[in-house]
Structure 1
Amino acid sequence: MSIEPATLETERLVLRPQVVSDAAVFHQLWTERDVRVPPHRQLSSDGRPTVADIAAQIQDASETSKPGLLTVQRKDDAAVLGYCGLVFTGNGAPEEPELAFELLRAVHNRGYATEAGRIVIEWAGRSGYPRLWATVWDWNLASRRVLQKLGFRDTGETHGESVHGRSLLTVLDGERPQ
């Protein structure tokens, strides 16, 4: 199975393929991450990844056939809010994608992550992926609520632990909440 890159729209959002100019916002996401996030997902002591590093990653990803993460943009003012999409990390079953999302703190608690996640789930279903996975840190209650609203359930398995908590594995099978 494969998923064609797409532009998806909801009432308030446009989710589109990433472009190099998104790198500054994605770098801001790195600066806003909770200190409990593992070191490989935080800025290093020398400030890496830089905006240029992220821009290069976006450019490299645009040359692959995998759909990856989509940029989440508000419709009314075209502001880039973060990303949401599918990644094939193998955290669940092989060849089944994982839902991933991250939005700027300034736009949290407005329902954007749930709205973006819902349209990505629909897109995945239309593309032949009836089951999706997601990992979430046990302390990340906001993201856990988003996943719950989207119909994900805790599998009871962990996908990593650190001094800061456990990464919980969740799954979405079949029926999608409306």
Structure 2
Amino acid sequence: MTEAAAQDRGPLLETPRLRLRPWRVSEAGVLRELWSERDPRVPPHRRIDAQGRPTLDELEDSIRANRPSSVGLLAIERKAIPGVIGYCGLVASGRGTAGEPELAFELLRQTWGCGYATEAAWVVLDWARSSGYEQLWATVWDWNTASRRVLAKVGFTETDRREVHRDIGTTLFTRRQL
């Protein structure tokens, strides 16, 4: 599948500063950089392992199959500066209520603190609403104060549900009505 055909497989969302669109195979390096930048408290299966996996080739294959992580995760690029800086979108992880996708986002460290995650989340919430979803949920580690702040800014509230992981922290479950 060509890069252009891959780009035509999903939505194009825009904000004044950002464009969210399907991933291109040539951007697999950004996904790998995101994997390598993850906090050491993130579970091992979500970080580069001792064998160097996922490899760049595996991530390229994943994009070709339209699975950067899950259907609905869109590459984020700034309109004024070339290059992908992360992702934002909806995933069906199976951890929440049936028919309610999870909001997910992750950005390269060099772009943290600029409001891009919040801006991307707002446009994805609008996309979800226009797609007929009435409620979304999101999970976040208790120690991830920056992501908790983004979720609060876009209207997510914590629920009573938590998953405690002795070695890596507690997963908090949040919800938002659309």
Partners of 2:89 and 2:123 lie apart in 1 by 9
* Pair 1:171-2:175 in alignment: yes
Partners of 1:161 and 1:141 lie apart in 2 by 17
Contact 1:38 1:162 in 2 (8 A): no
**Matched residue, 2:152:** 148
Partners of 1:162 and 1:37 lie apart in 2 by 12
* Pair 1:139-2:135 in alignment: no
* Pair 1:80-2:84 in alignment: yes
Match of 1:120 among 103, 117, 124: 124
Partners of 2:98 and 2:71 lie apart in 1 by 16
* Pair 1:27-2:32 in alignment: yes
Structure 1 position 60, deviation (Å): 1.0
Contact 1:91 1:133 in 2 (8 A): no
Structure 1 position 93, deviation (Å): 0.7
Partners of 2:23 and 2:137 lie apart in 1 by 22
Partners of 2:42 and 2:118 lie apart in 1 by 21
* Pair 1:7-2:24 in alignment: no
Partners of 2:157 and 2:63 lie apart in 1 by 31
**Matched residue, 1:41:** 46
Contact 1:91 1:135 in 2 (8 A): no
**Matched residue, 2:3:** none
Report the 3-state secondary structure (helix = DSSP H, G, I; strand = E; otherwise coil) of the residue aligned with 1:84. strand
Contact 1:135 1:159 in 2 (8 A): no
Cα distance change of structure 1 residues 162 and 71 upon mapping to structure 2, 3 Å threshold: farther
User: CA RMSD of the aligned region, Å?
Assistant: 1.4
TM-score normalised by structure 1 residue count: 0.90
Partners of 1:59 and 1:80 lie apart in 2 by 17
Report the 3-state secondary structure (helix = DSSP H, G, I; strand = E; otherwise coil) of the residue aligned with 2:66. helix
Structure 1 position 61, deviation (Å): 1.7
Structure 1: which 5+ residue stretches go unaligned? Answer: none
Match of 2:108 among 97, 104, 107: 104
Structure 1 position 22, deviation (Å): 1.4
Runs of 4+ in structure 1 over 4 Å off? none
TM-score normalised by structure 2 residue count: 0.90
Partners of 1:10 and 1:40 lie apart in 2 by 33
Structure 1 position 5, deviation (Å): 2.5
Report the 3-state secondary structure (helix = DSSP H, G, I; strand = E; otherwise coil) of the residue aligned with 1:61. coil
